Structure 1
Amino acid sequence: MNLLPLLPLAAALASAAVVLIGAYGLYLTQSQTRVPVDDPAEAPVAAKSDDTFFLHKITERIGRRFAPSILASLSDRQKASIASRIEAAGRPDGLTTERYVQRKVGEVAVYGTLAVLVLLSGNGLVLTLMALAFTGLTDLNLYVQGRERADQVQTQLPDFLDVLAVTVSAGMSFRAAIGRVAASMPGVLSDEFTIALRQMELGTSRREAFESLRRRNRNESLSKFVTAIQQAEELGAPLSDTLVDISKDMRLADAQYMRRKAQQLNPRVTMVTAATMLPGLLILIIGSMVLGTDINLGTLFGG
């Protein structure tokens, strides 16, 4: 039985399978560390989640011995930058600065050694670069989860402010209204306002608590809300009217944000489609042309 005509189709299917498996593997790598946001006021600082990605567990154990000396060598600015990125990502797995350093040390030790071994074995530069890319696995997770939290805050903010404006207009104090709305509308934004309320209960001023809220969330709309609340407090403007105006502005900002997200999504869809279909399609076309011209493949490959 002559199986030669089926070779282009088999090669095309194999190419598509490799691309799909790679995309699915990247998805699993990112989704394994998506856990609910822990409240830093209640959760132990060094608490570890059972859902921690197994590669992170391995690198943490390897880097545990060397992390204290490296952590001591970091400046306060570097530590603050790491802590800010962790907070922006929602403290996944109860991650702390110390555990972050442990993971980074373990990643450099494990994947850096693997990259050197692959390079010395002569298996190619591509595999070496792939091994080195894993040294940024923790940073990639923090970036992805930070973007996801920013999207969730952007989506939840207009509804949250609508209900908050109605609650304040009904005569409830601003702090009590935030607590009532946060309890009735669970989500990332409610968790963040709950943290701000607990900070105020512990003696932190409203300005400092909201500034901390702004720093934890890199969201432009939430930053504008904090600025508007602070200005209303300084100028003595009616808080209920201010909240209604802010809510209307947030609706417009949310619509613009969704349009920008849709525009950014189009090139990605095109790229994924091309990367998935183009290799197999080219192999199928070229293979069909070669078979259709009755070219002796043995002659081409020196057989």
Structure 2
Amino acid sequence: MIKLLANSNVYLILGAVIISFLGLGLLLFTIFSLKKRRGNMSARLDQIEAPIPQVVNNPVDGQIIGREISGSLLNRTIDNWGNQILGYFGKFTPAKSIADLEHKLRIAGNPNNLQARQFYAFRFLLLLAGIFLAFFLNRDLSNFNTTTLLYGVLIVYIFYALPVIWLRGRMRTRQEGIQTGLPDALDMLAVCASAGLGFDQSLQKISDYWDTDLGKEFRTATTEMELGSSRAEALKNMSNRLDVNDLTQFIAIITQAEKIGMSYADVLQSQAVQMRILRQHRVREQVNKLPAKMIIPLALLIFPAILVVIMAPLIPTFLGIFK
């Protein structure tokens, strides 16, 4: 009986190792395919507008190498396989969850051209990797108890939550960058409007010189207006893509000023001053929060070290007294 249990444990460990390596390989394969994916629309347009394709030096048939097969064999195989695998896993995701995640990905700036179904598939693969890792670490069933079970559940939860934590970090970083750069953008818009440029031309001028997230969003808005969208519709779409309160308020004021016929220069100048005051208040608020945030590091790191330095010279004296 003991020998049978030992053999079963060996097979269990061997199976866990094999499954873990397979899961890790699938995870690395997915990450590589995501980084190599070339689904960006601008890159695709540049490829379409490229010069005439290369012609094979064969005067008989004069075959033309198409753009779809002009890349390396690795890109043409790995990319397709990775997209197919991620698309297959993403089919099981509800439509409402897909719509919510697509909105969050737009706020984050579509990192790595990641789609919602691929994100859910990647999260599912990380969940499998976490299960395999927890199973491998707790392979010794003789020592299995409540503590090891909690550790396993914690490992699985961490692996499952990592993509969400990463996405929220990207969203917060991008929104904070846009919120911080908005007063400077409004100053430039006010200067352009005072120089005689219209609002659309001012947006175009800023988007040409600013290579930031806000400048790119201005460029997208001007492109939508050039394609036939109204100014209010293009600005509203930009507000929905970013979900920044200050920008939403500014767009609402600009839209209202357009309806009642107010001067853009005056509105932009007043909004620039207001946004700059709000930014100063946020900085002061963050500075006021620093003392409270420093309590935990001081209590856990600084105070124990000071206590050791003060009490260390007294330790030999106390030991001598007790002897």
TM-score where L is the length of structure 2: 0.64
1:213 equivalent in structure 2: 238
Aligned length: 245
SS in 2 for 1:73: coil
- Residue in structure 1 matching 2:107, options 82, 88, 91: 88
1:98 aligns with 2:98: no
Offset at 1:248? 1.4
Of structures 1 and 2, the one scoring higher in RCO (CA 8 A, sep 6+) is 1
Q: Within the alignment, does 1:170 sit opposite 2:195 as a pair? A: yes
**2:122 is aligned with what amino acid?**
R
* Correspondence for 1:6: none
Which whole-Å CA distance do the structure 2 matches of 1:182 and 1:255 have between them?
25
8 Å CA contact retained: 2:129, 2:159: no
* Deviation of the 1:160 alpha carbon: 0.7
Corresponding residue for residue 266 of structure 2: 241
1:232-261 deviation line (CA, Å, top 9, x unaligned): 122222111111111111111111222233
Matched, 1:190 2:209: no
The structure 2 residue matched to 1:109, chosen from 108, 128, 132, is 128
Is the CA contact (8 Å cut-off) linking 2:93 and 2:120 kept in structure 1?
no
Closer, same or farther: CA 69–132 of 1 in aligned 2, 3 Å: same
Give the match for residue 204 of structure 1: 229
**Residues 214, 223 of structure 1: 8 Å contact kept:** yes
Measured after TM superposition, the shift of residue 186 of structure 1 is 2.9
Q: Deviations over 1:192-211 (max 9, x none)?
A: 11111122222222222212
Shift of 1:166: 1.3
Aligned counterpart, 1:27: none
2:182 touches 2:247 (CA, 8 Å); kept in 1? yes
1:63·1:105 contact (CA, 8 Å) conserved in 2?
no
Compare CA radii of gyration and give the structure with the larger one.
Answer: 2
Post-superposition Cα deviations, 1:259-283, rounded to whole Å, max 9, x if no partner, equal 2333444433333444444676778
Corresponding residue for 2:295? 270
Cα distance in 2 for residues equivalent to 1:96 and 1:280: 49
- CA gap of 1:279–1:195, structure 2 versus 1, over 3 A, is farther
**Cα 1:205–1:275, aligned 2, differ >3 Å: closer, same or farther?**
farther
- CA-CA distance at 1:178 after TM superposition: 0.7
Structure 1: stretches of 5+ with no match in the other structure:
1-34, 46-59, 296-303
Contact 2:189–2:268 (CA<8 Å) still a contact in 1?
A: yes
Secondary structure at the aligned position of 1:42 is classed as helix
Q: Structure 2: where are the runs of 5+ without partners?
A: 1-34, 46-78
Instruction: Tell me whether 1:137 sits opposite 2:162 in the alignment.
Output: yes
Instruction: Answer yes or no: is the 8 Å Cα contact 1:154–1:221 preserved in 2.
Output: yes
Contact 2:123 2:163 in 1 (8 A): yes
* One-letter identity of the residue aligned with 2:166: N
Return the alpha-carbon distance in structure 2 between the equivalents of residues 273 and 40 of structure 1.
47
1:251 aligns with 2:272: no
Under a length normalisation based on structure 1, what TM-score does the superposition of the two structures give? 0.68
Percent of residue pairs bearing the same amino acid type: 24
Cα pair 1:62 1:106 within 8 Å, conserved:
no
Q: Matches of 2:90 and 2:183 in 1, distance apart?
A: 40
* Contact 1:41 1:195 survives alignment (8 Å): no
Q: CA RMSD in A?
A: 3.6
Cross-structure match for 2:181: 156
